[in-house]
Chain A
Amino acid sequence: MEDLLNAFLLMSNFVFVPAIAYGSQLALGAVGVTLVYGILRFSNFAHGDTMAFGTMIVILFTWWFQSMGINLGPLPTALLALPFGIIVTAIFLLGSDKLIYRFYREQKAAPVIYLIASVGIMFVLNGVVRFIIGPNDQRFADGERFIVKAREMKQYLGTAEGVSIKVSQGLTVITAIIVVIALFWFLNKTRTGKSMRAFSDNEDLALLSGISPDKVVAVTWILVAILATVAGTLYGLDKSFKPFTYFQLLLPIFASAIVGGLGNPLGAIAGGFVIAFSEIMITYPYKKFVAYVVPGDWKPEGLVQLLATDYKFAVSFIILVLVLLFRPTGIFAGKSV
């Protein structure tokens, strides 16, 4: 019994807790990608760098607040800076829409042209972020670091294994739940949300029934700004902020959105967790876990690891390929433009 408890605690510490936090971050990112895809009808490759941009603004405000001595006690100051980051990011996204995407919308350009334009915006953002905050790691987390510390939990329970839960991980999950509930409420219950869904389902019909396309587009970008900034800030708090890693996040985020079914917000959330759990579970070595679960001294010699941790990104690719081969529209039926 003791061994089974230890095995469970071990898996919680190294697999479940990190995967749930990582999954929430991916889910928030993937919902943003899926919204753009569903409503504006293109794959927004600039999303990873939009996250970096939003996080950068949050970090700059956080530093400003810290220098003035404002803080939230045990919670990171970044939460306070979050609304400001969202506002600046929203202004940036609306500006880029007005300058670039609107032109193509008026031309009724093919989705692939939007996609290429978004790649251009991605490179510009890449440069802007590096120019302002630099390419290095930035620390902006403050407040308490842990909700539960593994060492204290071991002493409390008297077990060999403990679980540590970071404040950032708890925050990530709670914030993700709140944001997702608010988003679904908005899309399903409000007039604007309903008009967005109508626009997504059938653009011509929506225009005929008097829905203003400019408003739908603007609201979509504001939602994307909220989702991207929140996802980026949570990822930065939990791990670390470095512009390049946000650029790399694009792959797992797109994998999540595609696995769940592009254009389907519920699918994007499910996809985020599928990707996060598979990345972590496939690269986790089960040596200790097996040693706890099997009776007696059957401790395995090897690490019982399916793939080395270096191949984490390959896992997203493999899942992406498998899903596209066998269920091209994703687990939950999405759309294909």
Chain B
Amino acid sequence: MKKLLLATVASAAMVTAAYADDVKIGVFLGFTGPIESLVAQMGPGAEAAIAEVSASGKFMNGSTVTAVRADTTCVDAAAATSAAERLITSDKVSGIVGGDCSGVTTATLTNVAMPNGMVMISPSATSPALSTIEDNGLFFRTAPSDARQGVVMSNIILERGFKSVALTYTNNDYGKGLADAFAAAYEAAGGEVTINTSHEDGKADYSAEVGALAAAGGDILVVAGYLDQGGKGIIQASLDTGAFDTFVLPDGMVGDSLPEAIGSDLNGSFGQAPGSDSEGAARLATISGDAFDSTSPFAGESYDAAALILLAMQAASSTNPADYKGKVFDVANAPGEQILPGELGKALDILASGGEIDYVGASNVELIGAGESAGNYREIEIKGAKISTVGYR
């Protein structure tokens, strides 16, 4: 009896200690689903920032921070909503890094985050619709809006001398938003979009879709889809029928699994994904080690999203979303001392002593508008069945 009592007291003490000192951050990404190969790098990216802050011992008078994973599935809004609810009500997280895909992010923001007053910083939701969504100041993203990516992609294509493209997009918020943004920018710059049509993910055979794209014509094919899903199917069917030889790959299509699956036929295709050649990106590469690939799309953005939440908490001296949501802009933008990956401990010190910081991070974070990154893109080209970086813009 005595032992039992002791054990109870001891465990109660532990629980109380954890409650006082352990801050939980939700890592809310699509660990399964169409972008699972990207999330395999994004999740550890976010967790690296969390671990760095926690290990520094300088966060909120020595509090520790733990990451709690939850799965958005990228496509299933119902599953994502209940996963987010679990994060908030059962795991009691103080902030959420995520979601990843635009559709599920919109759904969880309106259905879960806003009613619960929870801050969400998404590393990869890029739909232009999220710029204007009602969010009570709770939603930020370290990824740029696709309105910006549309312009960048249009410039890259025109600079390479292609005046006419066929365009297909995955039939969801991300695909439609990017396709519309691109088509508007490209046509304004004098290009011709011969066809702008959607495709469904998860089909066995895309030859009929490719038939329609080929009938419309165009020098190259822009595939605003997912590399593990219909996007790959469209490219494979286009190569099989000889309909298109060169493809433009926006962020959802940039990943190593695509050239691995298609092979050398993909050589010469090009595209862009968020990323920058800043000092921050190089720093992240040195601290990532074997844990994750810091050049994978959105891995740096994930690190930055987690870092921003924690720095804003430190600046507000509170883990309550209502208190720290107003500090996100302050820590992300000038004035203040510039902070790169690996310097989160220094940033925590500055904030604790009442100073100001300008978080630069791995992706040159500069929040604009409603709280989204201004956007830096890495232009890529497939050479020798590998993704190689051409430049940054």
Task: Give residues in A with beta carbon < 8 Å to B.
Answer: 13-15, 18, 22, 139, 145-146, 149-151, 154, 162, 164, 166, 235, 238-240, 242, 244-245, 279-280, 283-289, 303-305, 308-310, 312
Contacts and interface: CB of A to CB of B under 8 A. Distances in A.
Q: Summarize A's interface: helix, strand, loop or mixed.
A: helix
Given A22-B205, A151-B245, 7 more contacts: A14-B207, A14-B214, A139-B261, A146-B240, A149-B242, A240-B233, A287-B215
A14 B210 CA distance: 9
B211 A14 contact: yes
Interface stretch (B195-203, B270-278, B327-335): B195-203
A76 B120 CA distance: 49
B216 interface: yes
B216 A164 contact: no
Interface string B203-238: 111011111101111000000000000000100000
A150 B242 contact: yes
A303 B212 contact: yes
Contacts of A286: 215
A41 B198 CA distance: 42
A277 to B, nearest CB: 13
B208 A239 contact: no
Given A14-B207, A18-B207, A242-B202, A309 B245 contact: no
B217 A310 contact: no
A167 B188 CA distance: 43
18 contacts: A13-B241, A15-B211, A18-B207, A151-B245, A154-B242, A164-B241, A239-B204, A239-B205, A242-B202, A280-B211, A284-B211, A285-B212, A286-B215, A287-B215, A288-B214, A304-B215, A310-B200, A312-B208
A245 B211 contact: no
Contact of B242 (A13, A139, A279, A289): A13
Contact of B216 (A145, A150, A287): A287
B195 A303 contact: yes
Interface residues of B, number: 24
Interface of B: 195, 197-198, 200, 202-205, 207-212, 214-217, 233, 240-242, 245, 261
B385 to A, nearest CB: 15
Q: Summarize B's interface: helix, strand, loop or mixed.
A: helix
B199 to A, nearest CB: 8
Which of B210, B233, B242 lies at the interface centre, i.e. has the most chain A CB atoms within 10 A of its CB? Answer: B242
Nearest to B213: A285
A309 B202 contact: no
Contact of B241 (A22, A150, A303): A150
A309 B205 CA distance: 11
Nearest to A14: B211
Contacts of B245: 151
Nearest to B229: A137
A280 B208 contact: yes
Contacts of A240: 204-205, 233
Given A240-B204, A245-B204, A303 B242 contact: no
B204 A309 contact: no
A206 B214 CA distance: 56
A288 B209 CA distance: 15
A8 B211 CA distance: 14
A283 B241 contact: no
Contacts of A280: 208, 211
B211 A162 contact: no
A243 to B, nearest CB: 11
Nearest to B203: A245
Given A18-B207, A244-B202, A312-B208, A166 B215 contact: no
Contacts of A310: 198, 200
A287 B194 CA distance: 12
A306 B200 CA distance: 19
A285 B215 contact: yes
B32 to A, nearest CB: 10
Nearest to B214: A14
A168 B217 CA distance: 27
Closest 8 A/B residue pairs (Cβ): A150-B242, A245-B204, A285-B215, A239-B204, A309-B208, A14-B211, A239-B205, A287-B215
